[in-house]
Amino acid sequence: MRITISKTFLLALSTIAGCVALLACPSGGLAAMASVSASATVVAPVTISTTTEMFFEKLSRNSFGSVLILGSSYQDPVRGTASQSSPVAAQDAATFTISSGANPTYSVTLPENVAISDGSSNDATLNTIAGNSYGAYILSGTHQIISVVGKFNEGTKQVDGNYKGKLNFTVYYN
């Protein structure tokens, strides 16, 4: 059996082959490619929760003075004649628990003053709010407890009552 292939067919075949070759290598083999890595790290957000409230206990009303809560210990009047009434009960610095999955340094922001009120338009002020350390905190492990102290300023003719206020404690990553 004899198979005859025409010149026209061969020409068409070679043309198609050429086109396929060009498509397979459009740049003529001159392109170059490099692979590179990309990465990112998602850090757990810092969380804060109140462990204990700041509590000044009962204070006797005197003419004028202030009471400093430092840590969990009661301090005698800083100035004036304000004093703790008896019997002595617990006083507490406020404590906050800072948590994070990382071990970052972070800073805290405390208010300079906190207004407290008896709910009947009688006010007093807490000031000298401070943490138990200053500057940057370093979280060691998964959590850390920060104590916050303040000074209660008893005003002249401070009205008897149960005074309350809210202290905002902010923590942020450096």
Partner 1 sequence: MENIRLRFKAVTLFAIAGFVAILGSPSDSRAATTSASATATVVTPMAISKNADLLFGKFVANTGGTVAMATTGTRTAGGAVVLFSQGSTSNAASFAVTGEGAYTYAITLPADGAVTLSSGGNNMAVNSFISNPSGTGTLTAGAQTLLVGGTLTVSNAQAPGSYSGSFNVTVDYN
Q: Does 45 bind partner 1 (CB under 8 A)?
A: yes
Token reading at 53: 């409230």
**How far is residue 78 from each of residues 74, 110, 116, measured CA to CA in Å?**
11, 21, 19
Query: Does residue 41 belong to the site contacting partner 1 (CB under 8 A)?
Result: yes
Give min distance, CB of 100 to partner 1, in A. Answer: 10
Could you say which residues in the range 52-111 bind partner 1, by CB under 8 A? 101-102, 104-105
23 binds partner 1 (CB under 8 A): no
5 contributes a contact to partner 1 by CB under 8 A: no
DSSP string across 106-137: EEEE--SEEEEE-SSS-EEEEEEEEESS-S-E
The reply to whether 34 sits near partner 1 by the rule CB under 8 A is yes
Closest CA to 93 of 76, 108, 74, 78: 74
| Euclidean distance between CA atoms 10 and 8, whole angstroms | 5
Establish if 38 lies at the interface with partner 1 (CB under 8 A).
Answer: yes
140 contacts partner 1 (rule: CB under 8 A): no
Residues near partner 1 (CB under 8 A) are 27, 30-46, 101-102, 104-105, 173-174
